[in-house]
Amino acid sequence: MNAVVESWDWLTNGANWTGENGVWHRLAEHLHLTAVCLGLSCLIALPVALVLGHLGKGGALAVNLSNVGRAVPTFAVLVLLLLTPIGGYGDWSVVIALVLFAIPPLLTNAYVGMRGVDPDVVQAAQGMGMTGRQLLLGVELPLALPLVMTGVRIAAVQLVATATIAALAGGGGLGRIITAGFNLASTPQVVAGAVLVAVFALLVEGVFVGARRLSPAWLRGRMG
């Protein structure tokens, strides 16, 4: 119980929230890193997944990629990139590692969503004389959107988690509060940092769940 009280004291101490190592600055770093990497990985993964899903090719790639993503330790990739020449360019090694781990859920879910579109609907659209592009953007993408968004949600939560581990490899973000706590042998700070990270991760998940609830019924879909 003592640890809970001391962690609470750490969290309620205003001095811990301000400055270079303060919570607000670390939170801003974490948000910035997560948002930038989510944008980058969506830009890379979604077009590929939508085109592959539209053409019905590369299914094995989409499935195997998520298996590979699970088997390769995030921490190992972070450290490996840090020791390559890329590691010399500030946050780039962290950004690349984060994007690499956000791509598999995006790609797999978008691909599965595209393949899950009712073939009758696709045939009807083709019968109406729709071109490939019209079919992709006007029919398949809207129908696949619920699963695409599920992929974005999983990727966002994954990014928050990976950005936390990045603190072990010298990256910024809320994880720094935890690693600094370990270096100071301060259990209250470690626990307080962990609480902040956990709440942040749950909030990110909550925002996506809430957005889905508020979205129109056709967007919610039956899947995911």
Of 38 and 141, which CB lies nearer to another protein in the complex structure? 38
CA distance 96 to 1: 40
**How many residues in the chain?**
224
Least Cβ distance, residue 202 to another protein (angstroms): 6
**Least Cβ distance, residue 204 to another protein (angstroms):** 8
What's the rounded Cα separation, in Å, for the pair 132 and 114? Answer: 14
109 binds another protein (CB under 8 A): no
Out of 45, 46, 149, 201, the only residue in the binding site for another protein (CB under 8 A) is 201
**Site membership for another protein, residue 67 (CB under 8 A):** yes
Site string for another protein, 118-157 (x = CB under 8 A): ---------------------------------------x
- Minimum Å gap between C-beta 7 and another protein is 8
**Is the Cβ–Cβ distance between 38 and 102 less than 8 Å?**
yes
For residues 141-168, b (16+ Cβ closer than 10 Å) or e, as one string? bebbbbbbbbbbbbbbbbbbbbbbbbbb
The answer to the question of residue 76 lying near another protein (CB under 8 A) is: yes
CB of 70 to another protein, least distance (A): 5
Q: Which of 167, 171, 172, 221 binds another protein (CB under 8 A)?
A: 167
Contacts of residue 66, defined as CB under 8 A and 6 or more positions apart, other chains included, come to: 104, 105, 107, 108
Residue 205 contacts another protein per CB under 8 A: yes
* 73 makes contact with another protein (CB under 8 A): yes
**Distance in Å from the first CA to the final CA of the chain:** 39
Give the Cβ contact number of residue 1 at 10 Å: 5
Contact 41, 106 (CB under 8 A): yes
The residues binding another protein (CB under 8 A) are 3-4, 67, 70-77, 79-80, 82-83, 157, 160-162, 164-165, 167-169, 175, 178-179, 181-182, 187, 190-191, 193-195, 197-198, 201-202, 205
